[in-house]
Amino acid sequence: MEWKRLSVVQRHKSRGIKTWYLRENSGGVISYRSLGTTCKRVAEECLQRLLVLRFAMPGEVLEGVPMEGAMREFLERPGLKMGSVEQYRRILEHFSGWCKTQRVHDLLSVDERLARKYYASLRGKSARHKCRVCGCFLSWVYRENRVERAQPFKFVDFRRVAKVERDAWSVDEVERIVEAAPTAEMRMLWALMAYAGLRIHEAAGLRQADILGDRFQVVGKGDKFAVLPINGRLRRELERFGSLGDGLKIDKQKSIREIKKVCARLKIEGWASNHKFRHSFATNLAASGCPVAVAMRLLRHSSSAMTLDVYTHIVPADMREWAEKV
């Protein structure tokens, strides 16, 4: 059995990365394992657990990887987009909090049984996505700590979520909702989603510098760049509002609350959200006879199937109108 000298170090402190690593010197061959923490006390506790054993068997892994530190390092990896970082942070914080209720404090203790139990505790169509994020996180932890194990969410049997048919607002309903916005900033945000089909983060982040005469530029999902036309309704709203400056600083949840209040006041039934403006934009394009290829370009989809299957909703009044023509 070969003796290994163990210590803890901060490998990349000069670059501002404060993560602690376990340093192994085995016969002059030095290797490192991330401890997933920026706390010196936690790193030294991990080292003490190994020093009690005195010998480290080949292929041995740490008995515990601190959850909070590992999450922090995972989210600080280069290449992650800001939107993804915030989304992953919320998901992993929820997973971490749930694990604490199960008295699990280190990531190497998360097994298949716990993964299935966590999935069963989730509700809604985002449950599968949350588990995939957690699985991605655990795979990264295993790689960093040289653990030869499949991440436990790989064995979870995900239930099928029935596709829900959702309605869309008519052109008249969209105009009424936009006009009833509580503030000028909210009205401008809703107009960008309603009359250009922008997503909430795209509308909120649009700057005055992005307006190019009768067109505007936008960087959307997947960092896709596009230049889109400004129609008459949107032009009038932009002139009414004035300069967009550096963007509209409006919270997504606040916008949803206000949309629901306005819809209730106007007695417009059905689901209400920021994204319904985009749904309605696509539906009204289809109802006006817009070719699918043109709608696909305006919505910036990678395939026409996505445009048809996800965003084209038939307005009940149009169903009756077309049925009468048969």
Q: pLDDT tens, 189-246?
A: 999 999 999 999 899 999 999 999 899 999 887 678 889 999 999 999 999 999 999 9
Quote the tokens at residue 155: 């064995």
Quote the tokens at residue 171: 């052109």
Chain centroid to Cα 124, Å, comes to 15
3-state secondary structure (DSSP) of residue 15: helix
Sign of the Cα torsion 44, 49, 50, 53 reads positive
- Listing from the earlier edge strand, what are the strands of the sheet with 215-219? 211-212, 215-219, 225-229
3-state secondary structure (DSSP) of residue 57: coil
253/296 Cα distance (integer angstroms): 28
The continuous run of DSSP H or E covering 24 comes out as: strand 21-26
Query: Measured between alpha carbons, how far is residue 44 from residues 5, 34, 51, 290 in Å?
Result: 14, 13, 10, 65
End-to-end CA distance of the chain: 85
Cβ neighbours around 110 below 10 Å, total: 23
Long-range contacts, stretch 172-179, CB < 8 angstroms, 24+ apart:
173/266, 173/268, 173/280, 174/277, 174/280, 174/284, 175/233, 176/266, 176/268, 177/259, 177/262, 177/263, 177/266, 177/268, 178/237
The whole-number pLDDT of residue 203 equals 92
265/259 Cα distance (integer angstroms): 10
Name residues of the chain where pLDDT drops below 50.
1-3, 53-63, 326
The whole-number pLDDT of residue 315 equals 54
124/158 Cα distance (integer angstroms): 12
List CB contacts of 30: < 8 A, sequence separation 6 or more.
23, 24
- Note whether 25 and 4 are within 8 A (CB): yes
Q: Which of 301, 247, 297, 253 is nearest to 273 (CA)?
A: 253
Quote the tokens at residue 120: 């069963």
The whole-number pLDDT of residue 255 equals 93
Cβ neighbours around 261 below 10 Å, total: 13
The whole-number pLDDT of residue 61 equals 39
Phi, psi dihedral angles at 264 (to 5 degrees): -65, -40
Please state whether the predicted TM-score (pTM) of the whole model is above 0.85.
no
The whole-number pLDDT of residue 3 equals 45
The whole-number pLDDT of residue 82 equals 61
- Note whether 34 and 145 are within 8 A (CB): yes
